[in-house]
Amino acid sequence: MKQTYRGSCHCGKVKFEVDVDLDHVRSCDCSICRRRGALLHRVEADCFRLLTPLEDLTQYQWHTKTAKDYFCTVCGILPFRRPRLAPHLWSVNVRCLEGIDLASIPVEKLEGSRLD
């Protein structure tokens, strides 16, 4: 069942809300995800509400330039991204959501390192 969660970066400059059924999170082993340690969950665009202007974030792209990673310009945290294989969706960093018990959510391993 979907719930509404509030999320933010570490310093609070970036704020968002998301409606999601947190039945799993994804842990990817690609070069960037392995380093940042984010736990992601994908949502449809109508379930994601950015409460901070997108222009207030920094965007990072690499390789195919399809994925878009968004970072807070102050604290550097990645609260969400547009994934390469589903750029119409948002991938929310569940570690940035309030009131989440990460130990109770199953982790799905992704082998992003195998993508060309």
Rg (CA), the chain: 13
Which H helix or E strand runs over 34?
helix 31-36
The band of 28, judged by pLDDT with boundaries at 50, 70 and 90, is: confident
Residue 8, pLDDT score: 98
User: Is pLDDT at 116 greater than 80 in this prediction?
Assistant: no
Q: If 0-12 CB within 10 Å is exposed, 13-18 middle and 19+ buried, where does residue 46 land?
A: exposed
Closest CA to 56 of 107, 94, 9: 9
The band of 41, judged by pLDDT with boundaries at 50, 70 and 90, is: very high
User: Is pLDDT at 3 greater than 80 in this prediction?
Assistant: yes
User: Is pLDDT at 38 greater than 70 in this prediction?
Assistant: yes
Distance CA 35, CA 29 (A): 9
pLDDT digits (tens, 9 = 90+) for 86-115: 999 999 999 999 999 999 999 999 877 786
CATH number of the CATH domain containing 89: 2.170.150.70
The band of 2, judged by pLDDT with boundaries at 50, 70 and 90, is: very high
The structure tokens listed for 43 are 């949502």
The structure tokens listed for 99 are 């009131």
Structural domain boundaries enclosing 91: 3-114
Closest CA to 70 of 95, 42, 50: 50
Check if the beta carbon of residue 109 is closer than 8 Å to that of residue 27.
yes
Coil/strand/helix, residue 96? helix
Residue 63, pLDDT score: 85
Q: How many domains does the chain have?
A: 1
